[in-house]
Structure 1
Amino acid sequence: MSNPVPSFSLDLPDERHPLALEVDPPSASSSTSSLLPPSGSIPRSVASSIQTWWKHSSENGMATAEERLLNRLPSFIASKSTSDPTPTHANPNPLVSRVFDTTIQLYSETSSPSPSSSSSTPPPSPKTKSPASTSENIHGVEFYTAGIDGTKATTGGTVNVILHGYGAALAFFSENLEEFGEICSLGKRRGFALDWLGMGLSSRPSPKVFETPAGVKDETVEARVARAENFFVDSLEAWRVAGGFEKLVLIGHSLGGYLSIAYQLRFPSRVEQLLLISPAGIPTHPQPAPASAAAAELSPTPNSAASSAASSIKDGRNGDAPKPAFKKADAAAAPSYKKAVFEWAWEKGWSPFAAIRSLGPLAPRVATVYTTNRFRALSEDKVQDMYAYIYSMLRLKGSGEYCISSILAPGAVARLPMAARMDDIKIPVLFLFGEKDWMDPKGGYEACERMKLNGNENVETIIVEEAGHHVYLDNPTKFNAILRRALLKDVRD
């Protein structure tokens, strides 16, 4: 979510436990939206907020909310007992999408990164691993084609994978998933959209993994970042191994883009292509995100600074890098003491979602403000369904969300910027930024120039008009066209 107002009277350890009933998965018989309970009205007053908070239960939990959104996809089949559609002469390979859960094994490392390391790049996890392991669950939706010569039975090979950002989950891409499935079908590949470990409907391990290990003093930035990155990178690799896939095309948004790069740096032979949608943590000399970033992101029209920047280049393919869509003065808007308290809380492992959960009965109203602004372009009934999805996600116990202060410094500035770590990447890399994006697009241009200097000419930065940070949602038509062009080399938008 975009910069929620923090509460600094948090007892962070206590906030790392659920505040709601456990979410039960929807019944397998709920194969159509008509069989699901309605999402209910969005609370627009304090009284209705209290009522929503009090009545929240598994009935309108996240799994049910996800199913409501996915049921809008023509290819989606909710019930495991429902067979794939029968191939016809006109459609010999019908597209199918289904939710799935993959059990993965995560192994305990025999050693941790040295706290004395001075490298600017986090060291990879040691190859030697102890026998101790834990089973976790990765949740997602898969796309395949049925029938003879379909991709359902395809093993190995390359698959396309969508990875959401911070404070989100796979159904945020509900406006793009059907097109994504069709693109995968045309490319004769299987497609997946995943919930990161510790987020969405994937397992939510204890967030203590992000804390400095006992007995370690003066931990280096490299070690802190490596521990957080490896939490996600190791789980994605375990999912790849469990599925038997040879290579991945990673399509990551925001934090998901950052982590997609981190995965490629750890497992370069396993990534065929990177498509980075407004990725976090790229520029080597970043400007902290301004206090007005949230307001700019929720604005219904592009601001003038961003519009002029976007108009100076056609689709971001030529010309100089655009100026950031915010003013330096915004960063100093908050009083210094508030900034100091915020930075203290951030360094101590504060989570914005813990802050919202701490509001108790008022938390539904915070979710309302975000949802009704962020998804204003959607129909009323879909906004209602998105609200149920977001609020249900908010009520789940904190886990992966606590990574943020390990990876980013206050102001959404990367502790170890990715542009300086991408020099040796040789695969195709595409950066997408919205013309009113609060992520600085100069990071994309910088990374592309550095990779070109090292011999990789297959890199590009594109500015998408009429879009903010959630490019895929703000301008799904343009985004889907770019996605098609990137994943199907012989198709141009």
Structure 2
Amino acid sequence: MDPPALDPLPPAREIPSAFGATGEKQSAISEERLLRRLPFFRPQNLSSTPNNDSPVIAHSSRVDLDTKRYLNTLSITSTSPAPNAPPPAVMLHGYGAGLGFFYQNFPVLAQWAGRRGSSVYALDWLGMGRSARVPFSVKAKRDDVVTRVSEAESFFVDSLEEWRQKMGLDKMTLVGHSLGAYFSVVYALKYPTRVNKLVLLSPAGVPRDPNLTMPSRELTDSRDTDSFGSAEEATRARVDEIRAEQKVEKKQESKTRRLLTYLWEEGWSPFQVVRSTLFWGPMLIGKYSSRRFMGLTEEDTRDMHDYIMNITLAKGSGEYCISHILAPGAHARLPLVDRIAALKIPITFVYGDHDWMDPEGGRQSVENLRQAGNGKGRMYIISQAGHHHNVKAVNDLLIKELDRA
């Protein structure tokens, strides 16, 4: 049986564009435009009754938390749940992004959910994407680093825990990208009985060394990725090679990237810069969309651009966590490498061979886990990939890791 016909959505704006009409309605449309690519997705105005031959069904919703907060959520659930199904996978996006960034991962993850009788969820962090844009503040004094970091982290991980309770989930496998990977580790440290496994894609905030990790590059990174790369076990020699390449790139930063980094270190978020400029903002987003999604069709790139434009122009909220969690120079104030050994669960680190996250942090973390008696730490390098990974290679690795859970 074919899926029901859907009313057409208005087309996405061209790239680049001036700031046009934005708001919750436009943001919802831009997200649905991406999710309609999934044949098993059902918009809210349609019945959620699946086709007889559909192994999964997907729908988006707001999961209400306490005090007028909510998390925007995509649920992909099996139509034939298995009693011995593995824990659901929860996809957690990076800084200033949203669940729509995973739209190319959802088809393969849905196949896994259908095959294993499990579920896959993706959500927008509180204060990001299409989740509630509530005020973000930290009460701790500037020199009280531990309390500052704890308050900022709790804003995100406590809302994730409340979401888990509302969804009625016992344990989860968390798959986090960049800052989402950082929060995944923090959540596991705070709620260890609720995490089955961690898969960390280009995790932020891992090493002690400030090195080259710069969140401003979320808007300026221009490296294309090759769809034919693959995952390989990381070796010390490979990590050293990647770090040497990063140091060369560090010396070649553009003036725009340096300006954004300076503003960020002074307390601005990169997205505040975008919202504050009538000309440069649309141009930056257009440039980012075109380069970041260079391998996509023109229609896919345009739709991603419109999605990014809408979530970026929403009221600033969770993005202001960055200066509390990361110090000037963009290394973590409380690096994960010094904290992660407390975990007893399987943890997989994944980096691109052209990543700008320092892979040494992952290598040292796996070693710290081993010394603490946890031999279930792994690390992979994705060839022909940057910070935003090669989709096919990552999908293959994700299924391998989820089946291993």
What aligned pairs does 1:326-365 form with structure 2 within 5 A after superposition?
Answer: 326-327=246-247, 330=250, 345-346=263-264, 349-365=267-283
Counterpart CA distance in 2 for 1:291 and 1:454 is 31
- Tell me if structure 1 keeps the 8 A contact 2:219–2:284: no
Greater mean alpha carbon deviation, residues 345-354 or residues 325-334: 325-334
What aligned pairs does 1:239-258 form with structure 2 within 5 A after superposition?
Answer: 239-258=163-182
Q: Which residue of 2 aligns with 1:82?
A: 47
- C-alpha displacement at 1:100, in angstroms? 1.3
Give the TM-score normalised by structure 1. 0.74
Q: Which residue of 2 aligns with 1:398?
A: 316
What aligned pairs does 1:79-478 form with structure 2 within 5 A after superposition?
Answer: 79-87=44-52, 91=53, 94-105=55-66, 134-146=67-79, 149-150=80-81, 158-207=87-136, 209-210=137-138, 213=139, 217=141, 219-289=143-213, 297-300=221-224, 315-320=232-237, 322-323=239-240, 324=243, 325-327=245-247, 330=250, 345-346=263-264, 349-471=267-389, 475-478=390-393
- Tell me if structure 2 keeps the 8 A contact 1:291–1:330: no
- Tell me if structure 2 keeps the 8 A contact 1:156–1:244: no
Note the alpha carbon deviations across 1:53-96, whole angstroms, 9 max, x for none. 2x424597211000000000111111343242232xxx4x6211
Note the alpha carbon deviations across 1:107-126, whole angstroms, 9 max, x for none. xxxxxxxxxxxxxxxxxxxx
Counterpart CA distance in 2 for 1:317 and 1:288 is 19
Q: Which residue of 1 aligns with 2:14?
A: 41
5+ long unaligned stretches in structure 2:
none
- Tell me if structure 1 keeps the 8 A contact 2:210–2:330: no
- Tell me if structure 1 keeps the 8 A contact 2:93–2:178: yes
Note the alpha carbon deviations across 1:405-441, whole angstroms, 9 max, x for none. 1111123211111011011211110011011100011
Counterpart CA distance in 1 for 2:185 and 2:116 is 23
Code of the aligned partner of 2:393: K
Cα RMSD (Å): 2.9
CA distance 1:268–1:301, shift in 2 (3 Å) = closer
Counterpart CA distance in 2 for 1:272 and 1:283 is 24
- C-alpha displacement at 1:442, in angstroms? 1.0
- Tell me if structure 2 keeps the 8 A contact 1:98–1:142: yes
- C-alpha displacement at 1:285, in angstroms? 2.5
* Structure of greater Rg: 1
- C-alpha displacement at 1:478, in angstroms? 0.9
Counterpart CA distance in 2 for 1:290 and 1:80 is 41
Report the 3-state secondary structure (helix = DSSP H, G, I; strand = E; otherwise coil) of the residue aligned with 2:68. strand
Counterpart CA distance in 2 for 1:32 and 1:366 is 36
Counterpart CA distance in 2 for 1:395 and 1:218 is 28
Equivalenced residues, count: 395
Counterpart CA distance in 1 for 2:107 and 2:374 is 32
Note the alpha carbon deviations across 1:284-329, whole angstroms, 9 max, x for none. 2231347996799412368xxxxxxx99xx8134454512132268
- C-alpha displacement at 1:458, in angstroms? 1.1
Report the 3-state secondary structure (helix = DSSP H, G, I; strand = E; otherwise coil) of the residue aligned with 1:64. helix
Code of the aligned partner of 2:21: H
CA distance 1:333–1:396, shift in 2 (3 Å) = closer
- C-alpha displacement at 1:262, in angstroms? 0.3
CA distance 1:97–1:156, shift in 2 (3 Å) = same
- Tell me if structure 2 keeps the 8 A contact 1:290–1:328: no
Code of the aligned partner of 1:165: G
- Tell me if structure 2 keeps the 8 A contact 1:429–1:460: yes
Q: Which residue of 2 aligns with 1:112?
A: none
Q: Which residue of 2 aligns with 1:485?
A: 400
- Tell me if structure 1 keeps the 8 A contact 2:204–2:213: no
CA distance 1:417–1:245, shift in 2 (3 Å) = same
- C-alpha displacement at 1:245, in angstroms? 1.0
Counterpart CA distance in 2 for 1:354 and 1:290 is 16
Give the TM-score normalised by structure 2. 0.89
Counterpart CA distance in 2 for 1:169 and 1:414 is 22
Report the 3-state secondary structure (helix = DSSP H, G, I; strand = E; otherwise coil) of the residue aligned with 2:63. strand
Counterpart CA distance in 1 for 2:106 and 2:238 is 30
Counterpart CA distance in 1 for 2:253 and 2:304 is 32
Code of the aligned partner of 1:402: Y
- Tell me if structure 2 keeps the 8 A contact 1:179–1:480: yes
- Tell me if structure 1 keeps the 8 A contact 2:209–2:331: no
Counterpart CA distance in 2 for 1:382 and 1:34 is 19
Code of the aligned partner of 2:233: G
Counterpart CA distance in 1 for 2:398 and 2:98 is 19
